[in-house]
Amino acid sequence: MSPTTRFEIDAAEAVLAPLDERTRHIRHLITCHESCHHKAERHVEHILQAIGGGEVAPGPGRRPTTGSTPREQLWRASHDVLLVWCEGREGKRERREIVGLHPSELTRHLAARTPLKVWQVQRVVTCLRCYLDPKTMWRPSVIGDTQWQGEDAAFHRLTRETLIHDTIDGQQAQISLEAAIDCLNGCNWNFPNNLVIILRAIGGDLYPSTPFAACGRNVRLVPSRDRMRVVVSTLSLFCDQSGVKADQTDPAILATLGDPTPTKRWLAASLKKTLELQLHL
């Protein structure tokens, strides 16, 4: 019987030990997978190909440093526009679009500049800088409560007390502006919208038209969720698990995986369980 639970997956690993380096690397890719990543669907395809015997993807953080991706260009442009706003130099900013979004679309939500708003936007700028400069460490407010002194402490308290009213899975919900800034993950599929929600909240609009999505929050809105449901069903079929309907699977995935072996089934079960847990499938 193929493994289905975490306990069974761990037990199957012990039976298969010792694992070769290639298998360990694929298992590491599965462990590091983040379903909220804007390239999550592509990452899953790479893992499936690797399980089937194809080329093993390099893994997170190992992309060649030459050139920059559209997402990295968005981080840079957003960082620069917001930094200029904090410093009061809007008239000197470069007038260009940010991946289809004009700089004014970011700053117009902020309205009149105040010391509190500048402090809050600087937090956003620091968060973005972490994605641009590996040497910059992000310190979430919830961890660094004791670091705030004087005026900073007052600004931090006001940021924590500011509540954004949105929804989680369609139900009314709230998230503090502090938590939203802390959860502004640049790799998240909803990053551009999350950034605008935060900037609108700083400007005083606490009722966004779309929900704030983050790791573990509003995962049912992940664009690839329906596709991942098909992947999960197909992996279940590959692992000989009962109750799987053929019309809910993808023959192309089965072709990619090839003939089932104990190691392949273990890896497939591991990926299946990861997707189920992360996407609440």
Supply the Cα-derived Rg of the chain in whole angstroms: 22
Q: List the chain domain ranges.
A: 6-35+224-279, 70-218
- Using the structure block, give the residue that is written with the tokens 């007038």: 95
How many alpha carbons fall within 13 Å on the CB side of residue 196?
A: 16
pLDDT at 144 over 60: no
The residue among 70, 202, 176, 68 whose CA lies nearest residue 124 is: 202
Q: pLDDT tier at 94 (50, 70, 90 boundaries)?
A: low
Q: What is the pLDDT of residue 88?
A: 86
pLDDT at 252 over 80: yes
Q: What is the pLDDT of residue 254?
A: 95
Contact 116, 110 (CB under 8 A): no
Percentage of the chain lying above the pLDDT 90 cut: 59
Within 8 A by CB and 6+ apart from 221, the residues are: 190, 211, 213
pLDDT at 243 over 80: no
How far is residue 225's CA from residue 34's CA, in Å, rounded to a whole number? Answer: 12
How far is residue 187's CA from residue 190's CA, in Å, rounded to a whole number? Answer: 8
Q: pLDDT tier at 11 (50, 70, 90 boundaries)?
A: confident
